[in-house]
Structure 1
Amino acid sequence: MNRPDVKAFFDEATYTFSYVAWDPQKRQAAVIDSVLDYDAASGRIRHDAADAIIAFIAAQSLTVQWIIDTHVHADHLSAAPYVKSRLGGTLAIGEHICAIQQTFGDLFNVEPTFRRDGSQFDHLFKDGERYRLGDIDAVALHTPGHTPACMTHVIGDAAFVGDTLFMPDYGTARCDFPGGDARTLYRSIQRIFSLPGNTRIFLCHDYKAPGRDAYAHETTVDAEREANIHVRHGTDEDAFVQMRESRDATLAVPRLLLPSVQVNMRGGQLPDAEGNGVSYLKIPLNAF
């Protein structure tokens, strides 16, 4: 068995796809890139998106083995600890989370007790680390560029690439966040392109390219190599870097970047409550 079953869940408010992938024989599952509902105007949090995942897992009689974030998301808050509290499982991210914690720990001038060693997570994946989902072989690949800590998880014939790639008609991820780098992203994408052509690619976001009416979340390595509008086969590295850097210079800061990073660098936990029992998120002025 080398083919997991995969169910996608779409959060239209953040254009995010979360996934449940599982071994259909062993019924062991991974939850990938879950979303915590957050209303920026009121500061209120809900769990509707995560509860839909939890209900599906219960209905399918699955056991959660892994709860994975492909990277520290800048556009939505992670529901990983909430999912773990309901279903168990090992909460995991790539080991380069420490670089993100250092950079943004300084930016947000976090409390002295904030740990910058990734210990908020149960497991930190190393580049090339092999693991299993049930009886299905899996490997974690470090694919930085969008952020320094991005990982692609290849589970059987399915690759969960986070924000590294979008659908072929939409292109590639931005690289202008702290620690991002367009040249590094190009090389990470070539690593993904070296996977077998029929590898299924599952994307973290879609924004509907012009002329396309429906959101999409699944493609293949071959389709990306042949048709990605930014980085198809034969695209020169320098040309890609020039395109990506020019394009990124025109992009607005993501609406939920400041709350998302503060929560996600903590493994999806809110900052410690203050003396009045309320947790607060910081808004650094003139930082971006």
Structure 2
Amino acid sequence: MRHISHGGARVAALHDEKTGSWQYVVSDPDTGAAAIIDPVWDFDEKAAATSTRNADVLLDYVREAGLKVEWILDTHPHADHFSAAPYLHEKLGAPTAIGEKVQGVQALWKDIYRLPESFPTDGRQWDRLFTEGDTFSVGGLEGRVMFSPGHTLASITYVIGGCAFVHDTLMMPYAGTSRADFPGGDAQALYRSIQDILALSEDTGVFVGHDYGPDDREPACFSTVAEQRRDNIHVGGERSEAEFVALRSARDATLPLPNLMLYALQVNIRGGILPCEEADGRVFFRIPANYFQASAD
């Protein structure tokens, strides 16, 4: 667990090596109130088995630090890991939340998976659906919601105190930005979302959703808006929208699908719940064959 204090908030960051995902507990030092952002529910695709290793580390930290969790937040339906939000909700009682545009992602993937007509696409799987500009509190810290589409239709950024949790929109400056070629993704929308983030105060802390430790680096999670404006290899130095879209599109064309995507999306459009049990209590995943182009590697 990595600890960073910035912008009036205390942030504990937990890295999942398998998926490169960062999970956060952001808290108000004055009140002990906290929010958990993008928790990982572990999945072994070879055995099709779930476990709660990451989520239990978060629970242990919250309990040892004496924090009161007020929110369990997802930034979007993830393609590379399952959300542990329902498990943490069961343990902590805090409400779950995501952006309201998740309804579009649910409808899109309902069709891809050919789910039954009865599958709800109104976001009822979460306790709260945020709209653009919504505010909430974490103790004495004000939280604000920024819609950040591009990586997905439903991506949002949480600005809490002086910290922006930007999910998969921005990576660390040396890694650039996230892909925009998933169903519902859009490189032009991604560029514009990034410009909104870069328009925040230059000392705003930027906490990313992933880092894979390239070139034998230690995985990192934190930079500032000023550093992103100056150094980000995809959007720094006032790169134009047209240049970014060309760069992002060329890069995306070389990328394989995330290892867990076809498993993860059918769980995460359910808010982090496995598909419905059969009559005998067993659960099965549904995988669309030959829907996506085969990976070059």
TM-score bin (small chain):
over 0.9
Alignment partner of 1:193 is 2:194: no
**Contact 1:169–1:209 at 8 Å: present in 2 too?**
no
How many Å apart are 1:209 and its aligned residue? 3.2
Residue 36 of structure 1 aligns to a residue whose secondary structure is strand
Counterpart of 1:25 in structure 2 is 30
Partner Cα separation in structure 2 for residue 79 and residue 103 of structure 1: 22
Alignment partner of 1:236 is 2:202: no
Residue 86 of structure 2 aligns to a residue whose secondary structure is helix
Counterpart of 2:188 in structure 1 is 183
Give the aligned residue type for 1:252.
P
Partner Cα separation in structure 1 for residue 278 and residue 114 of structure 2: 16
How many Å apart are 1:112 and its aligned residue? 3.0
**Contact 2:7–2:204 at 8 Å: present in 1 too?**
no
Counterpart of 1:278 in structure 2 is 282
Give the aligned residue type for 2:13.
A
Counterpart of 2:161 in structure 1 is 156
Counterpart of 2:123 in structure 1 is 118
How do residues 64-79 of structure 1 correspond to structure 2 at under 5 angstroms?
64-79=69-84
TM-aligned CA distance change 1:48 to 1:240, over 3 Å: same
Counterpart of 1:221 in structure 2 is 225
Counterpart of 2:55 in structure 1 is 50
Give the aligned residue type for 1:31.
I
The one of 225, 237, 260 equivalent to 2:264 is: 260
Give the aligned residue type for 2:246.
Q
How many Å apart are 1:2 and its aligned residue? 5.6
**Contact 1:74–1:256 at 8 Å: present in 2 too?**
yes
Q: Deviations over 1:66-101 (max 9, x none)?
A: 000001100000000001100111100000000000
Give the aligned residue type for 2:52.
H
Q: How large is the RMSD of aligned CA atoms in angstroms?
A: 1.1
How many Å apart are 1:276 and its aligned residue? 1.5
Counterpart of 2:170 in structure 1 is 165
How many Å apart are 1:284 and its aligned residue? 0.5
How many Å apart are 1:114 and its aligned residue? 1.4
How many Å apart are 1:109 and its aligned residue? 1.0
After TM superposition, the runs of 4+ consecutive aligned structure 1 residues lying more than 2 A away are none
Q: Deviations over 1:110-160 (max 9, x none)?
A: 133311000000000101111111111110000000001000000000100
Q: How many residues get paired?
A: 287
Q: Where do 5+ consecutive residues of structure 1 fail to align?
A: none
**Contact 2:213–2:219 at 8 Å: present in 1 too?**
yes
Counterpart of 2:143 in structure 1 is 138
Give the aligned residue type for 1:63.
K
Partner Cα separation in structure 1 for residue 75 and residue 95 of structure 2: 14
Partner Cα separation in structure 2 for residue 25 and residue 90 of structure 1: 22
**Contact 1:5–1:23 at 8 Å: present in 2 too?**
yes
Q: Deviations over 1:250-285 (max 9, x none)?
A: 100110001110000100011110112011111110
Partner Cα separation in structure 2 for residue 220 and residue 182 of structure 1: 23
Partner Cα separation in structure 2 for residue 2 and residue 219 of structure 1: 12
Partner Cα separation in structure 1 for residue 210 and residue 263 of structure 2: 19
Counterpart of 1:60 in structure 2 is 65
The one of 109, 113, 126 equivalent to 2:114 is: 109
Q: Where do 5+ consecutive residues of structure 2 fail to align?
A: 1-5, 293-297
Partner Cα separation in structure 2 for residue 138 and residue 30 of structure 1: 10
**Contact 1:27–1:62 at 8 Å: present in 2 too?**
yes
Q: Deviations over 1:175-199 (max 9, x none)?
A: 0001100010000000000000000
